[in-house]
Structure 1
Amino acid sequence: MLLSPVLRVAPALALVALIHPACAEGLPRRSPPRPAQPQGRQQAQDNKQSQEDKQSQSEIDTEDLFGFTEGSDVGDPGELEASIDSTGRFGRRGGRYGVFSPTLELEYTPAERLSLSLDATFDHYWIRNVPDLENRNTGGLSQFSTQMRYQFIQRDPSPVGVTLSLEPQFGFFDQDTGERARRTALEAVLSLDMALVPERVFGAVNLTYEGERVRPKGFIGLDRDLDEVDPSDPAAVAITRTPAERESTLGISAAAAFQAVPNLFVGAEARYLRQYEGLDFKAFEGRALFIGPTLYMKVSDHLSLSAAWDVQVAGKANDGSGHLDLENFERHQAKLKLIAQF
């Protein structure tokens, strides 16, 4: 009698025992809790990621990023760079005017924030029927120069980079007329740039000053009133060397470059130039505003290409008419630079 309740319950217990494993296999299993990552390790990973971001941003060299406008970056210590910087200047008032000027440059960074370079420039002139200029189709070695660039403020960690460039020049042509001459000049550029959007958009501003002294080769005659005449003129009572001319140019430019795809930047720049007689701005001669597109492409880790084309959109000569200054400046200025790093 006592066993009858047990016998009744036993089949039910056996059925539950058979069903339970099958149900258990279908149920979702909770994964064991992960051990909490130490706070120090997480912070180290964050710092590492931040350093990688900064390193990626610092790999973008802004020196040649903006066309004619210079960026503030200076190479790493021990870095050697060779480049071919070709510029073209086209268009004056009337006739045909063109100057093609390739420059061979060797730049070395001996110490942090400091770079030195040696340049040799070759000019070729095509001038025909331009008022006040002789017809020419000639060229040759035009100029030797050296450049020193020092970066006062680095863009990382500072948001703005600041670099001063000084370039003394010794040349053998009048750069405007193509006439043989002895030319000495000094160009100073203060470059400021910043990352407007990290790794994507960069901007730069340049302040420039260039002073030059040009003495054309040859002699002139002077009459009794000390007016210039041809040396072979019978009225000439004295013969002297052609006098030197002194000019100075002030400029400001602004540029922006956007990384459209990896290693390819497209942008634009605007440059405003004012030219004066004398090294101390003795007399105003003319002004011009140039605007144009820029392109920078990093072909490989050691090779890059920079290009720009600027067009004069406004200007005025001191004694000229019209809305452009084609007496002191060109209508078009173009640049193509190939850079190799070692």
Structure 2
Amino acid sequence: MRHLHRPTAQPHTPGDAHGHDEALTEFLFAYTVGTDIAPAHHRHLLVDTSGGFGKGSGTYGAVSQRIELGFVPWENFHVGLGASMAYHAISGVDGLEAAAPRGTLAPDEAVAMPLRRGQAEFDGLSLEFRQRLLERERAPFGLTVVVEPHWGRVEEVSGAPVTKHAVGFLVAVDKDIVPNTLFTALNVFYEPEWVRLRDTGESERESTFGVSGAAMLRLSPTVFAGADARWLRKYEGAAMQTLAGEAVFVGPAIYASVGGVLVSAAYGVQVWGRVPGVDDFLDLDHFTRHQAKLRVVAHF
């Protein structure tokens, strides 16, 4: 078998204090996934905090924080072990009602009560597997596939106690359009979920499909700024049987390497959305008006 040797020079990389030049795009984009993977045997600790804020009425905030230990057992393959916390602050939001526990009310006696929730809970566990198939240095673009099974305890919109099993599938493509200066990425992803509400015993199946794109421009050797855009679609049924709603988010992003620690942040606002049968230009039933992300990564 003929072995390809990595070039000794990496002119397109900023270079951090630990020499992790080859993983530039892995964390360069905020909501969008880059294709690069660190060299074999490297490890990292990641803290990823994501928030959604604002519904059509009342007060709404949902924050999820994931801590991941990632490592590269061999070249071009990444494994991540994650644990998540979830926080919800909800009051007076139309369409979000408190569920009556099983057995407390007969079906014809159930009355929808406004949901009030302010809680932080352990959410769940996840695994992430990334396999890089093409490297940008040797191919017209980078190509990586990601599979992420996870188990959860908290419903992401309402904060209700659930038992959730899901698996995410993602294909990532990226390219340096202007060498050493401008990087772009495109993701396509699909995530089916199987959810059981612990309060009522009801079971639901749903899925999410989405496309995201990002561009980041180098401002200095270790600082990038750019933008991120995402088109998200929620479906009833694990196989995308019935469209429930969709939304488009657009916003700025920034990335910096500070003393070997990678920091990225992004903000997105819903600029368009719809729920089938509803005359509105936003989908605030399944998505929030604003979203934000902060990620910190330390290699060791």
TM-score (normalised: structure 2): 0.87
The residue that corresponds to 1:89 in the other structure is 52
2:203 matches 1:244: yes
Counterpart of 2:257 in structure 1 is: 298
Please give the per-residue CA displacement for 1:111-144, whole angstroms capped at 9, x wherever unaligned: 0000001111100100000012121011210111
Does structure 2 retain, via aligned residues, the 8 Å contact 1:159–1:195? no
Separation in 2 of the partners of 1:153 and 1:166?
Answer: 17
Select which of 9, 19, 39 maps to 1:52.
9
Is 1:74–1:114's contact at 8 Å kept on the other side of the alignment? yes
- Displacement after TM superposition at 1:282 (Å): 1.4
Task: Tell me which amino acid in the other structure corresponds to 1:99.
Answer: A
1:60, 1:168 → 2: CA distance? 23
Please show how residues 108-147 of structure 1 align to structure 2 within 5 Å. Answer: 108-133=71-96, 134-147=115-128
Larger Rg: 1
Cα distance between partner residues in 2 of 1:341 and 1:164: 22
Task: Quote the RMSD (CA, aligned, Å).
Answer: 1.4
CA distance in 1, matches of 2:55, 2:13: 44
More helix by share: 1
Encode CA deviations 1:38-78: one digit per residue, 9 max, x unaligned. xxxxxxxxxxxx84354747546101111100100111100
Contact kept, 8 Å, 2:22 with 2:39, in 1: the verdict is: no
The one-letter code of the counterpart of 1:279 is A
Match of 2:287 in 1: 329
The residue type paired with residue 173 of structure 2 is L
Runs of 4+ in 1 over 6 A off after TM superposition: none
Change (3 A) 1:71 1:53: closer
Contact 1:183 1:212 in 2 (8 A): yes
Secondary structure at the counterpart of residue 52 of structure 1: coil
Which of 152, 167, 180 is the matching residue for 1:186? 167
Q: Is 2:248 aligned against 1:289?
A: yes
The answer to whether the Cα contact below 8 Å between 2:161 and 2:199 also exists between their aligned partners in 1 is: no
Q: Report SS of the residue matched to 1:326.
A: coil
Paired amino acid for 2:141: V
Q: Which residue of structure 1 aligns with residue 129 of structure 2?
A: 148
Displacement, 1:157? 1.5
Q: Secondary structure at the match of 1:158?
A: coil
- 1:278, 1:162 → 2: CA distance? 29
User: Are 1:273 and 2:273 counterparts?
Assistant: no
Alignment of 1:17-96 (within 5 A): 51-54=8-11, 56=13, 59=22, 61-96=24-59
In 2, Cα distance between equivalents of 1:176 and 1:51: 48
What is residue 152 of structure 2 aligned with on the other side? 171
Q: Please give the alpha-carbon distance, in whole angstroms, between the structure 1 residues aligned to 2:188 and 2:12.
A: 28
Amino acid in the other structure paired with 2:247: A
State the SS of the aligned residue for 2:9: helix
The 1:197/1:127 distance shift into structure 2, 3 A limit, reads same
CA distance in 1 between partners of 2:140 and 2:212 (Å): 19
SS in 2 for 1:61: helix
**Maintained 8 Å contact 2:22/2:38:** no
Unmatched 5+ stretches in structure 1: 1-49, 220-241
Aligned pair count reads: 270
* TM-score, structure 1 normalization: 0.76
Could you tell me the percent identity over the aligned residues?
35
Could you tell which deviates more after superposition, 50-59 or 203-212?
Answer: 50-59
Instruction: Please list every run of 5 or more consecutive structure 2 residues that lacks an aligned counterpart in the other structure.
Output: 1-6, 15-20, 97-114
Q: CA deviation at 1:281?
A: 1.4
What amino acid sits opposite 2:33 in the alignment?
E
